[in-house]
Structure formats: C-alpha cells, structure tokens
C-alpha cells in the first residue's frame, strides 16, 4: 500500500531488517559508536560497553548496523594496530540452564567452524604443533583444549569440530588427545577464548597485524528470568571469558529496561562481576522533536521508489507529508522511540489512503494529520496494552 506514496512497503519495519545497512538521524549516537570503534581499533586492551535504553530505542539496529559495517570502518579509520576485524551479533539465551554454552554455540555458528580447519592447519604449518599448543594454553589455561586444537589434521578435524561443540565419543576424543568433553560453563568460556585467539593469531601471521573482534550481545535483560542456579554460572563464565580475552576484543552488551537511567537496577540484574568490567556506557535517549524530524526525513529520503527525491520533494518538502503535517507528526513522536515513530507513521499513512484523505499528488496535509493523529495514537496504545 505504501507504494501509493512512492515508498517501499517495508519503509517502517518494527524490527530491523537483516542486511539493510542504513542509519537515519541520531547523528550523536552514531558518533558515539564510531568513537568506540576508533578507540577499539587503535588500542589493544579489551573494551566492554553497556548500551541501555527502552524497548524499540534502536539497540538491535545499532548492533546489526555496526556488525555489518565494522570492516568498512576499519578501512576508513586505517589504524596502525589492526588490519582486519571480525564482528558477531548474538542474542542472550532465553533458557537459563547452560546459558553460556548456548551463547558460545551461537558464536561458534557465527564464526563458522567449517572454515576453521584451513585456519588451524595454516597455523600448525607455520608455527608447528607444539607452538600452537603452547599458544592456546597460554590464552585459555586449559591443557586439554590446547592439545585438542593443536591436534587438528585433515583426518581429525571432524572429531575436533564435534569436540568444540560439546560432543564427541570416546574414540573421537582419543583421536584428538582430549581427556574429556567440554561440559562446564567454564569449559565453553575457555573454548570461546581459544577460537577468538586462533582468529587473532591467524590474522597476525597473514598480515603482520592481529584482528579486532567485535561482539554484540542483545537482550541482556533476559537474565532477570534466570534462576539463581543458572544466573551465577552465566555471569561467572562471562567474567572468566572477559578476563582471559583481555586484548583484541570489544564486547557490547545491549540492555533494555523501562527506566534505563536506573543504573542501580541494571547493575543488580547484570551482576557486579560483569558491571566491574564495563568500561563505557551508551544511553539511547528518547529524541527531541528536532531529532525526530531528522530521523524521519532521512528515513523517507532513503525509501523512495517510483520517482527521484528531487521530483517527489517538489510536491512536498517532506513527501508524502506537507510541512505542517510533518511537524505535527514529529511532535507526536517526541520523547518516544524509533519503533513508535514507525508504528505511528505507518498507520497514519495507511488510514489516510484507505479513507481517501490525501491529495491528487498523494500528499498528506495538516487537515488529514490532525484528523487521524489522535485516533492512530490511541490505536497504537491499545495494541501495546493488548
């Protein structure tokens, strides 16, 4: 239906669209994340960042956007320290039992273990089996893991892959020299450090420079649903991982709370062990009306179809809204979230079209907006309550 307004039908998604690398408005917020990436690419020490804001404030969008653009940022910044990046986005496990092992397996999927074979074989060929074993042990403190990883060969890799995912028969374990399966949350924390360390060392041998790893963990507020017997192993394993991965890592933790300024409550949920390791905070603040206008204007401009922006904006400065309608809509979205702005704008445009309340040029004017705005706000509020 939005094609009537020369807009894509998915102009106002309620959740981010995977693979669409776009950023609208919120220039200060984008600048904050760019600065954190610049710092990460110019300094070796680990960086842990807590992002906090309301539902729909854009935390997942930021995670996807910067995961997809980390490599491009590295090229733009051209740091002396790093030649490349790896960026991964995962969600906090919904089930508390074995939560860190679930997080590990999600990251292992993103790393794509099927590509790890060539990396490991290359390391062993260049450094020798003993040196690779010593390197993994120095990074993880796990002799069993170090022996298993250094045992990688063409005919043992499948056994190693099974082992790294927490499985393995007795015969498979013997094949790679492992005494036991990975089982505890600490085992999986060590394994994650081992996998990331392999990526770092591979980049260093290939280019003379290590790589920087960026990890975004979404929906950390789900920890509140864990029982204490599941919660503590997760936070302790996360702390162990952060302490072992003391360089070449930037970890972003996305946290949603009804009042994101209530940091004490967030600290209680995340736990002191994790909070003590947070270096920086990014707050997704509700926008003022100027920021809403900037956001909406960028969003509309990037989603036009069936005509150029110049042609469409000759019909109305913020096509498909005239000036007054655009101002009224923006004011209604002040101090809310991008998701709310999407909901309200999408509904208003669809109802205006259904009721034939647009001009011949498909412009929504102040009269239509005034007539539909309160109704649309009420409808959205009712949906939220339901």
CA distances from 41 to 139, 273, 340, 368 (A): 21, 26, 34, 50
- Indicate whether 386 pLDDT > 60: no
- Indicate whether 40 pLDDT > 80: yes
- Indicate whether 46 pLDDT > 80: yes
Degrees to nearest 5, angle at CA 35 with 31 and 41: 145
| pLDDT on residue 383 | 65
Q: What are 70-109's pLDDT values in tens digits?
A: 999 999 998 899 989 999 999 999 999 999 999 999 999 9
- Indicate whether 385 pLDDT > 90: no
Confidence class of residue 290 from pLDDT cuts 50, 70 and 90?
very high
**For 182-192, what is the mean pLDDT?**
97
Confidence class of residue 261 from pLDDT cuts 50, 70 and 90?
low
| pLDDT on residue 272 | 87
Determine contact, residues 30/79, Cβ cutoff 8 Å: no
Q: Closest Cα partner for 374 from 337, 347, 354?
A: 347
List, in order, residues 6 or more apart from 126 with CB less than 8 Å away: 205
CA distances from 357 to 30, 156, 352, 361 (A): 37, 68, 5, 11
Degrees to nearest 5, angle at CA 104 with 102 and 108: 115
Confidence class of residue 268 from pLDDT cuts 50, 70 and 90?
confident
DSSP string of 267-297, one letter each residue = HHHH-HHHHTT--EEEEEPPP-HHHHHHHHH
The 3-state DSSP class for residue 45 equals strand
Q: Which CATH class is domain 27-284?
A: alpha beta
| pLDDT on residue 307 | 81
- Indicate whether 217 pLDDT > 80: yes
Q: Which helix (H) or strand (E) holds 239?
A: helix 228-244
Q: Which helix (H) or strand (E) holds 51?
A: strand 47-53
Query: Is 0.85 surpassed by the pTM of this model?
Result: yes
Instruction: State the average pLDDT for the chain.
Output: 93
Confidence class of residue 384 from pLDDT cuts 50, 70 and 90?
low
Domain residue spans of the chain: 2-12+287-385, 27-284
Q: Which helix (H) or strand (E) holds 196?
A: helix 185-207
- Exposure on the CB side of residue 340, measured as CA atoms within 13 A: 20
Give percent above pLDDT 90 in the chain.
Answer: 80
Determine contact, residues 195/164, Cβ cutoff 8 Å: yes
What letter would DSSP give residue 304? B
The 3-state DSSP class for residue 41 equals helix
CA distances from 277 to 207, 233, 249, 280, 302 (A): 30, 17, 13, 9, 39
**For 234-251, what is the mean pLDDT?**
96
């Amino acid at each position: 239906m939005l094609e009537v307004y020369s807009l894509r039908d998915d102009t106002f998604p309620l959740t981010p669209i995977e693979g669409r690398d776009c950023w609208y408005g919120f220039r200060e917020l984008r600048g904050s994340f760019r600065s954190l990436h610049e710092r990460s690419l110019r300094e070796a020490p680990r960086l842990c960042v807590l992002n906090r804001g309301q539902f729909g404030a854009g935390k997942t969008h930021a995670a996807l956007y910067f995961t997809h653009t980390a490599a491009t940022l590295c090229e733009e910044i051209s740091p002396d320290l790093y030649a490349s990046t790896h960026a991964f986005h995962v969600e906090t496990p919904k089930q508390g039992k074995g939560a860190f092992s679930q997080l590990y397996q999600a990251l292992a999927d993103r790393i794509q273990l099927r590509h790890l074979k060539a990396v490991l074989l290359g390391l062993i060929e260049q450094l020798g089996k003993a040196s690779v074993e010593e390197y993994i042990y120095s990074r993880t403190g796990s002799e069993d893991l170090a022996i298993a990883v250094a045992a990688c060969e063409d005919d043992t890799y499948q056994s190693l892959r099974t082992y790294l995912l927490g499985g393995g028969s007795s015969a498979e374990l013997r094949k790679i020299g492992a005494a036991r399966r990975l089982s505890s949350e600490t085992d999986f924390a060590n394994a994650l450090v081992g996998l990331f360390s392999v990526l770092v060392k591979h980049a260093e041998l290939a280019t003379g420079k290590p790589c920087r790893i960026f990890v975004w963990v979404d929906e950390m507020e789900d920890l509140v649903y864990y029982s204490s017997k599941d919660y503590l192993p997760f936070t302790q394993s996360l702390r162990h991982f952060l302490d072992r991965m003391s360089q070449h890592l930037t970890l972003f933790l996305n946290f949603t709370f009804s009042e994101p300024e209530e940091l004490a409550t967030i600290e209680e949920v995340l736990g002191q062990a994790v909070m003590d390791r947070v270096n920086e905070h990014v707050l997704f603040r509700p926008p003022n009306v100027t920021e809403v206008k900037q956001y909406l204007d960028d969003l509309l401009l990037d989603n036009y179809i069936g005509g150029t922006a110049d042609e469409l904006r000759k019909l109305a400065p913020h096509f498909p809204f005239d000036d007054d309608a655009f101002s009224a809509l923006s004011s209604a979205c002040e101090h809310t979230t991008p998701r709310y702005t999407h909901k309200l704008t999408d509904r208003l445009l669809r109802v205006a079209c259904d009721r034939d309340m647009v001009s011949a040029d498909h412009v929504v004017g102040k009269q239509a907006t005034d007539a539909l705005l309160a109704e649309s706000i009420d409808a959205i509020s009712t949906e939220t309550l339901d």
